[in-house]
């Protein structure tokens, strides 16, 4: 027993060190098919543990169909469904491709992805680009002409400018931006306002040199980068994936390395328990909905942006983002209390991601499934809320089901005998 507890502590410290020593650097932005391994033209990725195509329901199913149409893999909805049924269009899980999905998390072959290299450990992660602030978005289960136009705007107008500017740099380290943004009111999941401006600052010299050949398109890219709090989320997510992946597969570690939703429920993976997803029902949610929406509309259609919480950001850094009250509800006192409580279930305090409002204490980092089961304190996650008819209808704080952690803890005890 004592021996195993020591071993677990040691393994978790190693996993924690991998998380905290990670050095995510944005190195490129390119179409998924060019860069993401095994991404065929007929591949569509979506959030959460793999499901048979027929098990996808609601907005997540609609989002997959929308992805097929956007990618011109079918001429209409009927043909898309037929091809999905026949396996001619292949549905994959984001995490299996080094990607992380925002909400429904649809990736198609032509969509550009941020390429983030973990310079400390050599692994690479990807995240696609924010569609813009219209609540009707493909990753919220909506596909129509407006969604299509915005997706095309992103890939044809916004991304090329960022790509060109980026290629003049030696890569943009994301950790310093995240560190600084935590002192500027962001928690890097549901609020990324300062991070976007700090990212802009890094890119400005290169954007200026591009402007010689006409500033209009550069202005449009800058607007896309800074007009909404979610642009940088995709960089925070890619950084999160590059960071969390470095902590995978450590024998004996009970630390969570991924959490994800699909339309069927919540799931998590543990460093010392291989690639198994421990699945459970949906999370409980405290939401603040946009005007004109009600609780009964709340709908689950996937989500992997909770990679932020996996590495000690988002809900684990809420005390850094008092202004988030306005967006997702709850008082700042509650946010601080919730944030502090999470130290009970984490392996350590982040040496880089510090919370000024907690006297520069490091964020609680590295969720230990056994500590969750023992304390019954559940992780806190800051997410956008999707509606029954698609589109974003609000934002809120969710807690995963305890049963996932219990199932993972059982498997851990079975494997490691403690």
98-128: buried (b, 16+ CB within 10 Å) or exposed (e) per residue? bbbbbbbbbbbbbbbbbbbbbbbeebbbbbb
Instruction: Name residues contacting its own copies, limited to 136-155 (CB under 8 A).
Output: none
Q: Among 44, 222, 258, 373, which residue interacts with its own copies (rule: CB under 8 A)? A: 222
Quickly count: other Cβ atoms within 10 Å of residue 204's Cβ: 12
296-333: buried (b, 16+ CB within 10 Å) or exposed (e) per residue? ebbbbbbbbbbbbbbbbbbbbbbbbbbebbebbbeeee
Q: Among 38, 50, 356, 375, which residue interacts with its own copies (rule: CB under 8 A)? A: 356
Nearer to its own copies, 284 or 331 (CB): 331
Q: For residues 287 and 327, what is the distance between their CA atoms, to the nearest angstrom? A: 9
Q: Among 54, 145, 212, 291, which residue interacts with its own copies (rule: CB under 8 A)? A: 212
Does the protein bind its own copies through residue 135 (CB under 8 A)? no
Q: For residues 47 and 304, what is the distance between their CA atoms, to the nearest angstrom? A: 6
Does the protein bind its own copies through residue 193 (CB under 8 A)? yes
Q: Is the dihedral of CA 237, 239, 245, 250 positive or negative?
A: negative
Reading the block at residue 370, the tokens are 């056994």
For the chain, how far is it from start to end, CA to CA, in angstroms?
A: 6
Block residue for tokens 């806190």 = 380
Does the protein bind its own copies through residue 218 (CB under 8 A)? yes
Nearer to its own copies, 4 or 326 (CB): 326
- Residues 226-255: x/- map of binding to its own copies (CB under 8 A)? x-----------------------------
Reading the block at residue 9, the tokens are 């502590």
Reading the block at residue 253, the tokens are 């570690």
Does the protein bind its own copies through residue 281 (CB under 8 A)? no
Q: Which span sits near its own copies by CB under 8 A: 97-105, 148-156, 194-202, 282-290?
A: 194-202
Question: Whole-number minimum distance, CB 356 to its own copies, in Å?
Answer: 4
Does the protein bind its own copies through residue 133 (CB under 8 A)? no
Question: Whole-number minimum distance, CB 61 to its own copies, in Å?
Answer: 38
Q: Among 13, 81, 163, 211, which residue interacts with its own copies (rule: CB under 8 A)? A: 211
Question: How far from chain centre, in Å, is Cα 83?
Answer: 28
Does the protein bind its own copies through residue 201 (CB under 8 A)? yes
Q: Which span sits near its own copies by CB under 8 A: 131-139, 278-286, 353-361, 401-409?
A: 353-361
SS3 call for 308: helix
Does the protein bind its own copies through residue 360 (CB under 8 A)? yes
Nearer to its own copies, 254 or 318 (CB): 318
Question: Whole-number minimum distance, CB 215 to its own copies, in Å?
Answer: 4
Question: How far from chain centre, in Å, is Cα 248?
Answer: 17
Reading the block at residue 352, the tokens are 């880089």
Does the protein bind its own copies through residue 205 (CB under 8 A)? yes
Give contact residues for its own copies (rule: CB under 8 A): 183-186, 193-194, 197-198, 200-201, 204-205, 207-209, 211-212, 215, 218-219, 222, 226, 322-323, 325-326, 331-332, 356-360
């Amino acid at each position: 027993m004592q021996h195993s507890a020591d071993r677990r502590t040691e393994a978790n410290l190693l996993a924690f060190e991998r998380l905290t020593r990670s050095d995510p650097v944005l190195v490129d932005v390119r179409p998924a098919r060019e860069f993401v391994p095994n991404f065929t033209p007929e591949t569509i990725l979506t959030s959460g543990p793999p499901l048979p195509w027929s098990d996808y329901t609601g907005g997540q199913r609609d989002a997959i169909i929308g992805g097929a149409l956007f990618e011109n893999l079918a001429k209409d909805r009927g043909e898309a469904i037929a091809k999905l049924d026949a396996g001619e269009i292949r549905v994959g899980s984001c995490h299996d491709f080094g990607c992380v999905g925002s909400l429904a998390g649809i990736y198609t072959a032509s969509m550009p992805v941020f390429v983030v290299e973990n310079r400390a450990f050599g692994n690479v992660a990807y995240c696609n680009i924010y569609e813009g602030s219209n609540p009707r978005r493909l990753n919220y289960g909506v596909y129509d002409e407006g969604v299509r136009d915005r997706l095309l705007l992103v890939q044809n107008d916004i991304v090329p400018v960022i790509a060109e500017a980026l290629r003049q740099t030696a890569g943009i380290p994301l950790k310093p931006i995240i560190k600084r943004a935590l002192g500027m009111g962001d928690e890097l999941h549901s609020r990324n306002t300062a991070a976007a401006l700090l990212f802009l600052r890094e890119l400005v010299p290169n954007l200026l040199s591009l402007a010689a050949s006409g500033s209009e398109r550069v202005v449009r890219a800058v607007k896309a980068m800074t007009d909404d709090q979610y642009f940088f989320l995709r960089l925070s997510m890619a950084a999160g994936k590059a960071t969390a992946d470095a902590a995978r597969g450590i024998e004996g570690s009970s630390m969570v390395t991924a959490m994800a939703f699909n339309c069927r429920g919540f799931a998590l993976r543990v460093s010392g328990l291989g690639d198994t997803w421990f699945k459970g029902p949906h999370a409980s949610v405290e939401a603040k909905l946009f005007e004109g929406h009600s609780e009964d509309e709340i709908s689950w259609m996937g989500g992997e942006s909770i990679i932020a919480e996996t590495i000690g950001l988002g809900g684990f850094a809420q005390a850094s983002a008092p202004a988030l009250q306005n967006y997702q509800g709850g008082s700042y006192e509650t946010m601080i209390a919730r944030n502090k409580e999470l130290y009970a279930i984490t392996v350590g305090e982040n040496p880089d991601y510090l919370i000024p409002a907690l006297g520069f204490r490091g964020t609680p980092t590295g969720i230990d499934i056994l500590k969750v089961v023992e304390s019954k304190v559940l992780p806190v996650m800051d997410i956008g809320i999707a509606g029954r008819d698609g589109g974003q209808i609000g934002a809120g704080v969710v807690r995963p089901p305890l049963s996932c952690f219990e199932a993972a803890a059982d498997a851990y005890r079975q494997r490691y005998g403690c």
